[in-house]
Structure 1
Amino acid sequence: MALRLSSDHLQDVVAHARETFPHECCGLLAGRDGRVVRVCRGRNVDESPYTYRLDDRQLLQFLREMDQDGLDIVGIYHSHTASEATPSRTDVARAFYPEAVYVIISLQHPEHPVVRGFRIVDGTVAEEDVIVQ
């Protein structure tokens, strides 16, 4: 199933990637039925240009808020600062939410960011459409 988000949501995740450069950014996309209704900007506790890990306390806070609002994790996003918008081996190994679309924002060419989505299930990667509405 495709991931649908507004242009404002897309601009928000790209801005987050640019703001945290040269480190990777990360966060959750909250919504229903594959449609994003909220961007949850996270803090990358790895503070690394190569990996990301969302702060555990923030994750719990986001999950509580989403539960209260009847929302699900429809996507998990992060940036690649110097590589293409394709999942790395680390991304695949750390993909623990098979129901989510993993959105990668590539800043390999910062003036032209590339955003792509992937479903990652048991180590198998399949590209998913990211539709801006």
Structure 2
Amino acid sequence: MLIIDTATYDAIVAHARRDHPDEACGVVAGPAGSDRPARFIPMLNAAMSPTFYEFDSGDLFRLYKEMDSRDEEPVVIYHSHTATEAYPSRTDINLAQEPNAHYVLVSTRDGADQPSFDGPVEFRSYRIVDGEVTEEEIQVVADYNTGEI
């Protein structure tokens, strides 16, 4: 199960909406071994594509160096799908290299990219290990300490 705070959830959705019609991507780092997403890090989609995302290799190298120096790891790796459901594509599955990460997908299709969109945003989380995709429950909490929703 992914437990994520409201502020981080909102930041991921806002980034997906802002980058639409291109896919948005980023990482939420957390203390190593904690499984707690703590530091939201929006990244640039170097592919600048509505159907594919790619982290800039230099940015990604610097991010991993920084996470290492802070004793952090990628807890959430997220991106958006602009015209399809929030389910990992074959390419997403093949690129998944962090077995302990939660892979979050947000769909901005059908007007969900608009701030005025009044329906629920499709926000889903998966574990992807050795090509096997397992969807997991998401709990959005106001505060990690109290666990209040």
Q: TM-score, normalised by structure 1?
A: 0.93
Report the residue type matching 1:100 in the other structure: A
Give the aligned partner of residue 57 of structure 1.
58
Please identify, of 104-113 and 86-95, the stretch whose mean Cα deviation from structure 2 is larger.
Answer: 104-113
Give the aligned partner of residue 145 of structure 2.
none
**1: CA distance, partners of 2:64 / 2:14:** 23
**2: CA distance, partners of 1:58 / 1:8:** 24
Output one character per residue of 1:35-89: Cα deviation in whole Å (capped at 9) or x when no partner: 1101111111111111101111111221122122221111100000111111111
CA RMSD of aligned residues (A): 1.2
Give the aligned partner of residue 113 of structure 1.
121
Give the aligned partner of residue 137 of structure 2.
129
Shift of 1:93: 1.3
Give the aligned partner of residue 86 of structure 1.
87
Report the residue type matching 1:25 in the other structure: A
Shift of 1:125: 0.4
Q: Which has the larger radius of gyration?
A: 2
Q: TM-score, normalised by structure 2?
A: 0.84
Report the residue type matching 1:124 in the other structure: E
Percent of matched pairs sharing the same residue: 41
Give the aligned partner of residue 77 of structure 1.
78
**2: CA distance, partners of 1:31 / 1:131:** 17
Aligned residues: 132
Give the aligned partner of residue 103 of structure 1.
104
Give the aligned partner of residue 8 of structure 1.
7
Shift of 1:117: 0.5
List alignment gaps of at least 5 residues for structure 1.
Answer: none
Shift of 1:129: 2.1
List alignment gaps of at least 5 residues for structure 2.
Answer: 142-149
Shift of 1:130: 2.2
8 Å contact 1:3–1:74 — kept in the other structure?
no
Give the aligned partner of residue 30 of structure 1.
29
Give the aligned partner of residue 66 of structure 1.
67
Q: Which runs of 4+ in 1 moved over 3 A?
A: none
Shift of 1:122: 1.1
